[in-house]
């Protein structure tokens, strides 16, 4: 089994960015900021928890890809899964912490007796992201077929 150490290093960066940083940042945010975000309709703890879970999944997938042969079906499944997990993270960010909103969010900001409601309709970005993900999956399948063909040529030679 050949380990691609560059991919392992990428997995460690993913772990740092999507797991360690959000957990650390949550501890250092002032309570007033957390309260304002909660009042605006953004559940910060839930957002951090979802980010950390996606980070753990992306890290596990990256380590699996580093260990699998590029011509194996396992690599293809891990690659497609990591693309879909990346889409889930995009939906999380565009949906302001709500995966199910699919880019349509309503935030309420209140100051005293006055309240302002902000509606973010970013569904066009979601559709663009879906198209990009479909193309990335197609690219992944084509790379897999190419790697499999190269592997079979090396076996025959």
pLDDT digits (tens, 9 = 90+) for 59-78: 999 999 999 988 899 999 99
pLDDT at residue 1, rounded to an integer: 65
Task: Compute the distance between CA of residue 77 and CA of residue 68 in angstroms, rounded to an integer.
Answer: 10
Closest CA to 122 of 147, 97, 142, 146: 97
pLDDT in tens, 82-137: 999 989 888 888 876 677 778 788 777 777 788 788 787 888 888 999 999 999 99
- Cβ atoms of residues 100 and 34 within 8 Å: no
- Tell me which of 73 and 38 has the higher pLDDT: 73
**pLDDT (0 to 100) of residue 75:** 93
Instruction: Delimit the domains of the chain by residue range.
Output: 5-156
Higher local confidence (pLDDT), 112 or 17? 17
Give the pLDDT confidence score for residue 111 in this predicted structure: 75
Above pLDDT 70, what percent of the chain?
Answer: 96
Q: For position 157, what pLDDT does the model report?
A: 63
Q: How far is CA 146 from CA 2, 7, 83, in A?
A: 19, 20, 19
- pLDDT score for 118: 79
């Amino acid at each position: 089994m050949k380990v691609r150490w560059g991919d392992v290093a990428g997995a460690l960066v993913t772990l740092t960015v999507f797991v360690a940083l959000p957990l650390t940042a949550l501890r250092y945010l002032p309570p007033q900021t957390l309260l304002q975000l909660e009042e605006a309709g953004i559940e910060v703890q839930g957002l951090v928890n979802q980010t950390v879970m996606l980070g753990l999944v992306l890290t596990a997938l990256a380590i699996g890809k580093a260990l699998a042969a590029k011509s194996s079906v396992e690599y293809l499944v891990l690659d497609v899964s990591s693309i879909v997990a990346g889409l889930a993270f995009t939906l999380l960010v565009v949906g302001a912490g709500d995966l199910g909103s699919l880019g349509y969010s309503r935030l309420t900001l209140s100051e005293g007796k006055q309240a302002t409601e902000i509606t973010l309709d970013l569904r066009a970005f979601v559709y663009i992201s879906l198209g990009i993900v479909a193309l990335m999956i197609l690219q992944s399948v084509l790379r897999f077929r190419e790697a499999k063909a190269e592997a079979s040529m090396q076996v025959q030679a």
